[in-house]
Chains A and B, each alone.
Chain A
Amino acid sequence: MNDTTITRGARWFRALAGEPAGNGSVWSGDALLGGETARFITVVPDPANRFPRATTNVVGLEQGWRLARAVREAIDADADPSRAGGMRRPIVAIVDVKSQAYGYREEMLGIHLACAAAVDAYASARDAGHPVIALIVGPAMSGAFLAHGYQANRIVALDAPGTMVHAMGKEAAARVTRRTVEALDALGETIVPMSYSMASFAKLGLLDQLIDGVDADAPDAAQIERVRDVLIEQIRSARTGDRTLARRLESESARLTRAASIEVRRRLAEQWDAV
């Protein structure tokens, strides 16, 4: 992949972590971040992938299991509590994934399990005390984001064209809901969870920081440094809180837009034990 066609995932991996160990569809490697070793992981296009439906920046079979392995290597490396004062290295998921892979082989061979393995690994890392940070630099879509990033303690994103979080690509969603893309956009203006904008995603209380003023495709040294600082701060913050995803319901934004999620938990707790 030459420099003019490099994807955002690859570019940001190199900027933050240098050259990856190994090649293929999942890049992972350890690099210094704020004075400690952190593991960086991203998904990149793999034109030589054995599965022809999984050659772009998608999470397919190999991607899912390799993501899991990259995370578990970090868990295993830090498993000894006498090492480094029991500190677990941060894991930074650099997210640039347009979807899961679509193919009959993928379904037959259990892409759902491959992606679940990545979910499992990230969640297990978080439960073990690794600060897991998702850095969204491009699309963070659907099952691919569930597998790579959505189990993080903290989620940050570049405020740039092309970064987005959603359950389905706009064209596909328009087809399925039998609306035009313009109508979907209009709907997203009034119905926050349907919007494709990162600002709306932030309103759901799911985004810890939206980083503006950064060129996602060609960041200069100062912008890369700023992103590094954001990651360091989020890592520090993640270490102070609990290891679950409960925090996602605690922000002011969440209290507004996820009132129903909070109400469900409150009422269920009330009814849990029979009176």
Chain B
Amino acid sequence: MSHAADVRISDPSAAQAAHPEANQAAPRLRDSFIELPARERARALLDAGSFRELLGPFDHIESPWLPLQGIVCQADDGCVIARGTIDGEPAVIAALESAFQGGSIGEVSGSKIAAALEMALRDCERGKRVRPVVLFETGGVRLQEANLGLAVIAEIQAAIVALRRHVPVVGVIAGMVGCFGGMSLAAALCSYLVVTKQARLGMNGPEVIEQEAGIEELDATDRRRVWQLIGGEQRVASALADQLVDDDSHAVRAAVRAAFTQGVPAAHRSEQVDTFLQRLARVDPASVTPETLRDVYNPPAHHATNGEQA
């Protein structure tokens, strides 16, 4: 506990504030969410002034494993945990920093997420609801911590399954790294997924598919193809994600708030086993395309207005 006062970095929109007369007439400038580092993304989603970081850089809980391999640590291990409020309700946000080791999950960064969800669960069980948000920007397990990365992802998944009985667990995938690996499973366990067009959500990265299955299976350099298969727009159109938003902090924040007002869905996507087995049976592996898939996974009759997972 430090006696020194924390002073945060000056607001990036300070330039805007310097010319208020320009703002009164002009439309509000778009504030890119993607360009924000993890800490500022978390701040942007919490009610103004409510941001309080836990286990921040000055707590110095770092990877015990990276220095053994000559890799410089980041003081927060690439994960920001922040408490605050969302629409006045207590909240906690876990935000992965993609600039550090691709947002990969190490023992500490993953444990921070698991611990935050476990604490939220403890509060919920005691009648104090906490709104959890996870900002998924990650390639998955940090290979330099291999088995611990994998283990903590299992712990994150366990915490999401338990917590989402009490309160929606809201995931955000913004890009540009996207959400891959074991964390894509965690994202799929969330009650709601808010994604941008730039986002990607997949279990194996395109490079890994190309490497394991050959370039005929997937050309990882074909960006158009990649986004067609696993990009944010396709995921929402095929009901594998819930809300498509512009790359704008205000839009992401509004979508997150709206997700919470919808409450816990009657059945999470990952619980709809018979539904998806039936859908898979209707798919012809030889001819299915991203477009035809949309009709199978998100049939027009089931377009929901209340955010129930299709």
A interface with B by C-beta (< 8 Å): 50-53, 61-62, 65-66, 68-69, 72, 100, 102-117, 119-121, 123-124, 126-127, 142-143, 145-147, 150-151, 165-168, 172-173, 175-177, 187, 190-195, 200-201, 204, 206, 244-245, 248, 258-261, 263-265, 267-269, 271-272, 274-275
Q: How far apart are B224's CB and chain A's nearest CB, in angstroms?
A: 13
Contact status of A113 and B269, CB under 8 A, knowing A104-B209, A204-B151, A260-B64: yes
Inter-chain contacts of B99 with A (CB < 8 A): none
Q: How far is the CA of A52 from the CA of B288 in the complex (A)?
A: 14
A111 to B, closest residue via Cβ: B203
Complex CA gap A105/B269 in Å reads 19
Contact assessment for B229 and A165 in the assembled complex, using a CB-CB cutoff below 8 Å: no
In the complex, B213 has a CB within 8 A of chain A: yes
Stretch from B24-32, B41-49, B137-145 at the A interface: B137-145
**Partner among A66, A177, A261 whose Cβ is within 8 Å of the Cβ of B277:** A66
Q: Mark B143-186, 1 if CB is under 8 A from A, else 0.
A: 11111111111110110011000000000000000000110111
From A61, A116, A264, A267, give the contact of B185 (CB < 8 A): A116
Also in contact, A107 and B115, with CB within 8 A (given A143-B181, A193-B107, A260-B61): no
- Chain A residue contacts of B149, Cβ below 8 A: 167, 193
Asked if B161 and A109 make an inter-chain contact with CB atoms under 8 angstroms apart, the answer reads no
CB-based contact A146/B158 at 8 Å: no
- A-B interface pairs (CB < 8 A), number: 236
Counting chain B CB atoms within 10 Å of each CB, the highest count among A107, A124, A172, A204 belongs to A107
Chain A residue, CB-CB nearest to B186:
A116
Of chain A, the residue at the smallest CB distance from B185 is A116
Closest Cβ neighbor of B276 among chain A residues: A65
In the complex, B196 has a CB within 8 A of chain A? no
The complex places the Cα of A248 from the Cα of B155 at a distance, in Å, of: 10
Given contacts A264-B115, A272-B54, contact A187 B202 (CB under 8 A): no
Whether A245 touches B158, Cβ cut-off 8 Å, given contacts A110-B240, A269-B119, is: yes
| Beta-carbon nearest neighbor of A124 in chain B | B161
Would you call A65 and B148 a contact (CB within 8 A)? Answer: no
Q: Output the least CB separation between A238 and chain B (Å).
A: 15
Query: What is the 8 Å Cβ interface bit string for chain B, positions 28-39, against chain A (1 contact, 0 not)?
Result: 000000000000
Residues of A within 8 A of B184 (CB): 112, 116
Say whether B131 faces chain A, with CB atoms less than 8 Å apart.
Answer: no
Complex CA distance for A175 and B143, rounded to whole angstroms: 12
Could you say which of A119, A145, A204 contacts B270, with CB atoms under 8 Å apart? Answer: A119
Distance in angstroms between the alpha carbons of A268 and B110 in the assembled complex: 13
**CB closest chain-B residue, reference A272:** B119
CB-CB under 8 A for A193 and B157, given A65-B276, A258-B107: no
Known: A167-B150, A193-B145, A267-B59. A108 touches B157 (CB 8 A): no
Greatest chain A CB density within 10 A among B55, B59, B83, B276 is at B276
Structural contact, A191 and B69, CB atoms closer than 8 A: yes
User: Given the complex of chains A and B, what is the CA–CA distance between A52 and B115 in angstroms?
Assistant: 39
- Give the CA-CA distance A260 to B66 in the complex, in Å: 13
Residues on A with beta carbons closer than 8 Å to the beta carbon of B212: 102, 172
How many angstroms between the C-alpha atoms of A206 and B297 in the bound complex?
37
* Chain B residues with CB under 8 A of A65: 273, 276-277, 280
B53-110 at interface with A (beta carbon < 8 Å): 54-55, 59, 61, 63-65, 68-69, 81, 83, 107-108
Q: How far is the CB of B162 from chain A (nearest CB, A)?
A: 6
Which one of A52, A176, A264 lies within 8 Å of B108 (CB-CB)? Answer: A264
**A261→B107 contact, CB < 8 A:** yes
Shortest Cβ distance from B161 into A: residue: A123
Task: Decide yes or no whether B295 CB sits under 8 A from chain A.
Answer: no
B217 contacts across to A, CB distance below 8 A: 53, 102-104
Complex contacts, B144 vs chain A, CB 8 Å: 177, 191, 194
13 A–B contacts, CB within 8 A, in A order: A65-B276, A105-B288, A112-B185, A116-B157, A117-B271, A124-B161, A142-B150, A146-B185, A147-B185, A194-B146, A261-B148, A264-B115, A265-B111
B188→A112 contact, CB < 8 A: yes
Residue of B nearest to A152 (CB): B154
Give the Cβ gap from B57 to chain A, nearest Cβ, in Å. Answer: 13
Is B270 touching A167 in the complex (CB atoms < 8 A)? no
Q: CB distance B270 to A113 under 8 Å?
A: yes
Q: What residues of B have a CB within 8 angstroms of the CB of A173 in the complex?
A: 143, 146
Return chain A residues, CB-CB under 8 Å to B280: 61-62, 65, 109
Across the interface, do A261 and B152 meet the contact criterion of CB distance under 8 Å?
yes
- What is the minimal beta-carbon distance from B295 to any residue of chain A, in angstroms? 13
Among B55, B148, B269, B270: residue with most chain A CB under 10 A: B270
Q: Is residue B253 contacting chain A, with contact meaning CB distance below 8 A?
A: no
Is the beta-carbon distance between B187 and A112 smaller than 8 angstroms?
Answer: yes
A119 with B230: in contact, given A50-B285, A193-B147 (CB under 8 Å)? no
- Residue in A102, A119, A123, A200 whose beta carbon sits within 8 Å of that of B204 in the complex: A102
B22 — which chain A residues lie within 8 A by C-beta?
Answer: none
